[in-house]
């Protein structure tokens, strides 16, 4: 028997009828995703909400939890039930319900411009739980505007706990954060960096040290440390690794 969380995940987001006209959208798209999978270090897979299955799973080991890509694709949603801890399954059910309720309020012509990101644990091959970041965006809608297929990107999370549910709208600074206790969305904007703070962060991303950045910018090292501290405060992070992860996840650099 499925748990309440599993039942919610299997039933909440079914798209309803998918027509032959809908299926014409699919021509060749798997080959595009395979090419994308070869280019990125992150795990890539596609959810088919009509069948609660996976259309494509890349070979990156992070998402596979010790299985082969073919095995994960064969399991579909059963993969989550086997490899996500029960507490995090309940979290996924909450954000699943809230996310699809949010999506239903978005004008149909804008629905593909939204994406959601959140963190949850996967058990790896040795049984250890690894906190991953999961990004999802609509790939195909059916004739009634429901999400039919979605593409997902998986990477190591820079957070320390599961959750951190955020919806972004492409081309804007807008974002919505989910309070998982009240199940309400709170609108805000991406943190903004000054031009010099952005430059410092990009140089860090290139692997430069404080002294190298100082030489590049013709400033003293203490000035670089000042900009770094302002970046940490803006992003609410503790170190440069977290700052770089935050900036890349939020498309700031």
Determine the structural domain holding residue 128 and report its residue range: 4-189
Query: Residue 208: which CATH number?
Result: 1.10.10.10
What CATH number should be reported for the domain holding residue 21? 3.30.450.20
End-to-end CA distance of the chain: 46
Q: Are 71 and 143 part of one and the same domain?
A: yes
Together in a domain, 118 and 166: yes
Both 61 and 173 in one domain: the answer is yes
- Same domain, yes or no: 115 and 201: no
Of 148, 174, 189, the domain-final residue: 189
Question: Which phi and psi (to 5°) does residue 230 adopt?
Answer: -65, -40
Give every CB contact of residue 216 below 8 A, 6+ residues apart in sequence.
203, 208
Do 111 and 134 sit in the same domain of this protein? yes
Q: At 232, which helix (H) or strand (E)? A: helix 221-235
Are 105 and 182 found together in one domain? yes
Examine the domain organization and report whether 87 and 162 are in the same domain: yes
Query: Residue 63 to residues 69, 74, 121, 173: CA-CA distances in angstroms?
Result: 9, 14, 10, 29
- The residue assigned the tokens 């299955």 is 53
Pair 80, 199 in one domain: no
Same domain, 151 and 223: no
In angstroms, the Cα distances linking 186 to 5, 19, 116, 167, 240 are 24, 35, 14, 10, 27
Instruction: List phi, psi (to 5°) of 142.
Output: -85, -175
* pTM of the entire predicted model: 0.83
Residue 116 sits in the same domain as residue 241:
no
Domain count within the chain: 2
Looking at the fold, whether 169 and 75 belong to one and the same domain comes out as yes
Q: Could you write out the DSSP letters of every residue in 27-90?
A: TTHHHHHHHHHHH-SSEEEEEETTTTEEEEE---HHHHTTS-HHHHHHHTTHHHHHHS-HHHHH
Looking at the fold, whether 80 and 134 belong to one and the same domain comes out as yes
Q: Which of 171, 189, 207 is the last residue of a domain?
A: 189
Q: Give me the tens of pLDDT residue by residue for the chain, a chain 253 residues long.
A: 778 778 777 777 788 888 888 888 888 888 988 898 888 889 999 999 999 999 999 999 999 999 999 999 999 999 999 999 999 999 999 999 999 999 999 999 999 999 999 999 999 888 899 999 999 999 999 999 999 999 999 999 988 899 999 999 998 889 999 999 999 999 988 888 999 999 999 999 999 999 999 999 999 999 999 999 999 999 888 899 889 988 887 778 8
Phi/psi for 27 (5° steps) reads -50, 110
Tell me which of 138, 160, 189 is where a domain ends.
189
């Amino acid at each position: 028997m499925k748990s309440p969380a599993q039942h919610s995940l299997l039933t909440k987001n079914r798209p309803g009828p998918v027509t032959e006209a809908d299926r014409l959208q699919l021509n060749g798209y798997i080959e595009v995703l395979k090419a994308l999978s070869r280019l990125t270090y992150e795990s890539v897979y596609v959810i088919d909400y009509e069948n609660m299955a996976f259309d494509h799973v890349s070979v990156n080991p992070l998402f596979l939890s010790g299985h082969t890509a073919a095995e994960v694709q064969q399991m579909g949603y059963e993969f989550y039930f086997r490899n996500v801890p029960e507490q995090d399954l309940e979290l996924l059910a909450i954000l699943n319900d809230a996310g699809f309720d949010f999506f239903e309020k978005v004008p149909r012509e804008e629905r593909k411009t939204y994406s959601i990101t959140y963190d949850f644990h996967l058990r790896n091959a040795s049984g250890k739980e690894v906190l991953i970041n999961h990004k999802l965006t609509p790939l195909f809608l059916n004739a009634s505007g429901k999400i039919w297929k979605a593409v997902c990107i998986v990477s190591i999370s820079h957070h320390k706990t599961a959750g951190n549910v955020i919806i972004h709208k492409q081309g804007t600074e807008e974002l919505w954060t989910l309070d998982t206790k009240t199940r309400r969305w709170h609108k805000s904007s991406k943190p903004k960096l000054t031009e010099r703070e952005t430059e410092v962060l990009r140089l860090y991303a290139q692997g430069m040290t404080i002294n190298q950045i100082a030489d590049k910018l013709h400033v003293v090292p203490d000035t670089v440390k000042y900009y770094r501290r302002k970046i940490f405060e803006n992003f609410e992070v503790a170190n440069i690794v977290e700052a770089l992860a935050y900036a890349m996840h939020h498309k700031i650099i």
